[in-house]
Amino acid sequence: MPHKITSAHGASLSRRDFLAVAGAAGAGGALIAKTAAAAAADPPPPTPQPAQQRVFGLRHPALDMVRIGFIGVGSRGSSLLGNLLELDGLQIKAVCDIVPERVEAARRRVAAKNQPEPEGYSEGEMDFERLCQRDDLDLVYIATPWDWHVPMAVSAMRHGKHAAIEVPAAMTLDDCWRLVDTAEQTRRHCLMLENCCYGEIELMVLRMVRQGVLGELTHGEAGYLHEARDWLLREDSPANWRRRFVATLDGNLYPTHGLGPVAEYMGIHAGDTFDYLVSMSSLELALSRRLEARSGASTSRGRAFACGDINTTLVKTALGRTIMIQYSLAQSRPYSRINLIAGTTGTFCDYPPRLHLDGQGEDWTTELQPYHDKHGHPFWKSLNAQARQSGGHGGMDYVMNWRLIQCLRRGLPLDMTVYDAAAWSSIVPLSIASVARRSAPVTVPDFTRGTWRQQAPSALGDDWPAPV
């Protein structure tokens, strides 16, 4: 039994785990070098197959009942499953996880909601393939560690299912392209489950932008600033897989929660697109110092974890707009996704939410109820009680899941596309490449292959009728 070292806060970390974390940084070197080399080469997009077609506006026949397979029912997957079980018009037909106890718990949970008990899959890492091969599924939810997202989504689409992937959708440029090409070849929906695009404030701001309240947009700011040192330093377990990424990669490893809403505001892939980025990380210190305090051992600065305490990435769009994206799990600071959007006649900034418009003087307006009344999204006006009661990040999870099921049941295009999943996720490998090259500019691939110029904005900001 390894010796345990207990901190003053009662948390424990074995010396074996300490050494594993401290030595892990070298394991990510090959991925960093490969990513940096690929970005430096600025390769052309893969050649599409002859029958491959763009999937903007993709529609499928309406489904009376959406039949769902679920891969990954740990912490995040369990939360999503709970949301789905509160919705009508769907059946959970199969669940998969590498931990058999999770599968059995999920099966019992579904049965308790008066659905037939779903089939369980827990015979090793590749058992998701058997789930994807079933002929009674329409949609596969994927809530697993990041590096498993793409093989699972590709398997689902190759077997005729739509894929809904947790964030980020992919960790390499090659995998971003695999998602795009597979979706275009199979004509299946592939979306990233970016719940923050469905937040009450984010949807209100989107409608304000669409209605011209902020004028012409020029700049946005996004982030994921979430102090999580003690969480990352827990004992090794299947639930703490994120630590290996922080230990081996230096860049913006989790960009989409903040970036997704800002990209929606700016109409990315609907008249504008990401052009290039530069990225810079601070030194790594906060996690190593916390690790030293717990273990009683000493680390050289920057050895225990590769990822700097904070990463700042700047994106330039084709129309000349700028987006700042920040990421930190290590700094002691209040939670924030920043959520700032600035135009020629006004600026909105969140955390706390406030608004400044031309003609109101120098002060920010923090009384936003009139704006909720005038610009609040119909989804939230109709679903507010159910969403908040269901839990899940203040209700945004419920609205996101409800909306996905609604689109499939009505045969509507989805709000977000595989191109969004690929472009937003590409910030991960591209920021790693830029940091490795002393913050050199790195081109963001055009995953739409030029068709972003002709696309209309997503339907997410439209005046939708009340839910039925």
Average pLDDT over all residues of the chain: 90
> Distance of CA 337 to CAs 103, 138, 191, 221, 334, Å?
33, 33, 21, 9, 10
Please indicate, yes or no, if residue 129 is contained in any of the structural domains. Answer: yes
Same domain, yes or no: 235 and 126: no
Please indicate, yes or no, if residue 26 is contained in any of the structural domains. Answer: no
- Confidence band of 461 (pLDDT split at 50, 70, 90): confident
Which domain does 216 fall in, by range?
197-378+406-461
Rounded CA-CA distance 369/385 in Å is 17
Question: pLDDT per residue over 266-290, tens digit each?
Answer: 999 999 999 999 999 999 999 999 9
- Pick from 166, 189, 210: which residue ends a domain? 166
- What pLDDT does residue 289 have? 92
Number of domains in the chain: 2
Tell me the three state secondary structure of residue 388: helix
**Tokens standing for residue 401:** 């899941």
Assess whether pLDDT exceeds 70 at residue 164. yes
- What pLDDT does residue 362 have? 87
Burial class (CB in 10 A: 0-12, 13-18, 19+), 398: buried
Same domain, yes or no: 250 and 336: yes
User: Which parts of 208-309 are beta strand (E)?
Assistant: 217-225, 274-281
- As a whole number, mean pLDDT of residues 211-240 equals 90
Question: pLDDT per residue over 168-183, tens digit each?
Answer: 999 999 999 999 999 9
β-sheet bridge partners, residue 63: none
Assess whether pLDDT exceeds 80 at residue 151. yes
Please indicate, yes or no, if residue 321 is contained in any of the structural domains. Answer: yes
Alpha helices in 51-197 (DSSP H): 75-84, 100-111, 128-132, 149-158, 173-186
Please indicate, yes or no, if residue 34 is contained in any of the structural domains. Answer: no
Q: Which has the higher per-residue pLDDT, 465 or 64?
A: 64
**Tokens standing for residue 34:** 């490969």
Same domain, yes or no: 201 and 134: no
Rounded CA-CA distance 155/152 in Å is 5
User: Which parts of 11-159 are beta strand (E)?
Assistant: 12-14, 66-71, 90-96, 119-121, 139-142
Count of CB atoms within 10 A of residue 402's CB? 24
Rounded CA-CA distance 293/61 in Å is 58
Assess whether pLDDT exceeds 60 at residue 29. no
Q: pLDDT above 70 covers what percent of the chain?
A: 88
Of 3, 14, 2, 1, nearest to 294 (Cα)?
14
- What pLDDT does residue 237 have? 62
Asked whether the beta carbons of 350 and 203 are under 8 A apart, the reply is no
Rounded CA-CA distance 325/455 in Å is 25
At residue 374, φ and ψ (nearest 5 deg) are -85, -40
What CATH number is given to the structural domain containing 94?
3.40.50.720
Q: Which amino acid is at 294?
A: R
- Confidence band of 404 (pLDDT split at 50, 70, 90): very high
Chain Cα centroid distance, residue 152: 16
Please indicate, yes or no, if residue 15 is contained in any of the structural domains. Answer: no
Same domain, yes or no: 285 and 426: yes
Q: Which has the higher per-residue pLDDT, 7 or 386?
A: 386
Q: Which has the higher per-residue pLDDT, 388 or 411?
A: 411
Question: pLDDT per residue over 197-207, tens digit each?
Answer: 999 999 999 99
Question: pLDDT per residue over 341-351, tens digit each?
Answer: 999 999 999 99
Count of CB atoms within 10 A of residue 41's CB? 8
Question: pLDDT per residue over 68-96, tens digit each?
Answer: 999 999 999 999 999 999 999 999 999 99
- What pLDDT does residue 30 have? 59
- Confidence band of 126 (pLDDT split at 50, 70, 90): very high
- Confidence band of 6 (pLDDT split at 50, 70, 90): very low
Residue the block writes with tokens 């991960």:
428
Rounded CA-CA distance 254/428 in Å is 7
Q: How many residues does the chain have?
A: 468
Q: Are strands 90-96 and 66-71 parallel, antiparallel or unpaired?
A: parallel
Same domain, yes or no: 370 and 251: yes
Q: Which has the higher per-residue pLDDT, 44 or 76?
A: 76
